[in-house]
């Protein structure tokens, strides 16, 4: 059970857009639309930002969007704001009722 | 208001045991799969275990199979994680979470409880 692959870090200036990728295999990301993204600020619990690859829970700003193509899912944050600076984790259902997380990406707002 | 409150984290010696609890309120606990996710210091998230609404199905990450047991008490709206044969690599903050209507919805999270395995 290897973790999904995410870039260690990304950065952008306020107002810009950034995209974080999450690469898995045909047994997890590629097999199911059960991909989610979590935002985690230091010392805090993770927060669900995207589920079912593209859906936004109520209360999550429309600046956050998700997509998936083949074995790779992506999280795009448009109109970056200072409070978006956090760690982001992707997660995929990987069969047999198991979940797999990515290694996490640190987003820095310059 | 939904609340998940973990407790039971402590410093324990290698080979020891610990039982974590998660008290839930503000939602229909018995209607949801529940999960434990952990995060080693300075590291990423790792799914640990799931349990079905009625406790009849349980699933674990390979690294804890045979050592950890997830359970629940719907009458007490509580989730548990019994951890035996603890290893240094089990050191982490343990979060309980609620699975929503989809397998990709870890909808609600607790604040976490720290387990440290060290001699």
The Cα B46–Cα A91 span in angstroms is: 10
A23 — pLDDT class (breaks 50, 70, 90): very high
- B-chain residues within 8 Å CB-CB of A28? none
- pLDDT tens profile A59-105: 999 999 999 999 999 999 999 999 999 999 999 999 888 999 999 99
- pLDDT tens profile B96-112: 999 998 888 999 999 99
Nearest-CB residue to B112 (from A45, A57, A93):
A45
User: Pairing state of beta strands B11-12 and B113-117?
Assistant: parallel
- Are B44 and A91 an interchain contact pair (Cβ–Cβ within 8 Å)? no
CA of B119 to nearest chain A CA: how many angstroms apart?
25
SS3 readout for B65-115 = CCCEEEEEEHHHCEEEEEECCCCHHHCEEEEEEEECCCCCCEEEECCCEEE
The pLDDT, as a whole number, for residue A1 is 58
Per-residue pLDDT, averaged over A24-53, amounts to 95
Q: Tally the residues of chain B.
A: 119
CB atoms within 10 A of CB A100: 23
Per-residue pLDDT, averaged over A27-40, amounts to 95
CB atoms within 10 A of CB B67: 15
Residue B96 C-alpha from the chain's centroid = 5
The pLDDT, as a whole number, for residue B62 is 94
CA of A15 to nearest chain B CA: how many angstroms apart?
27
> Is B68 touching A (CB cutoff 8 A)?
no
- Are A99 and B35 an interchain contact pair (Cβ–Cβ within 8 Å)? yes
> Cβ distance A27 to B96 under 8 Å?
no
pLDDT(A2) > 90: no
- A-chain residues within 8 Å CB-CB of B47? 91, 98-101
pLDDT(A54) > 90: yes
> Distance of CA B106 to CAs A57, A82, B24, B70, Å?
11, 25, 14, 17
- Are A45 and B57 an interchain contact pair (Cβ–Cβ within 8 Å)? no
């Amino acid at each position: 059970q290897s973790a999904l692959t995410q870039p260690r870090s990304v950065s952008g200036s306020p107002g810009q857009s950034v995209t974080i990728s999450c690469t898995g295999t045909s047994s997890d990301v590629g097999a199911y639309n059960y991909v989610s993204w979590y935002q985690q600020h230091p010392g805090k619990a993770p927060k669900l930002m995207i589920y079912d690859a593209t859906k936004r829970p109520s209360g999550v700003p429309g600046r956050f969007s998700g997509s998936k193509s083949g074995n790779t899912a992506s999280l795009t944050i448009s109109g970056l704001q200072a409070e978006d600076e956090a760690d982001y984790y992707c997660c995929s259902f990987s069969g047999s009722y198991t979940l797999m997380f990515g290694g996490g990406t640190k987003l820095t707002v310059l | 208001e939904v609340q998940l409150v973990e407790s039971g984290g402590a410093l324990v010696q290698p080979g020891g045991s610990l039982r974590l609890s998660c008290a839930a309120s503000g939602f229909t606990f018995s209607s949801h799969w529940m999960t434990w996710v952990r995060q080693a210091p300075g590291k990423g998230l790792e799914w640990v275990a799931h349990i079905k609404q009625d406790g009849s199905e349980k699933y674990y990450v390979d690294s804890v199979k045979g050592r950890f047991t997830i359970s629940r008490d719907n009458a007490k709206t509580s989730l548990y994680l019994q951890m035996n044969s603890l290893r240094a690599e089990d050191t982490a903050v343990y979060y309980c979470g609620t699975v929503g209507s989809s397998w990709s919805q870890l909808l609600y999270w607790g604040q976490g409880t720290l387990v440290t395995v060290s001699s």
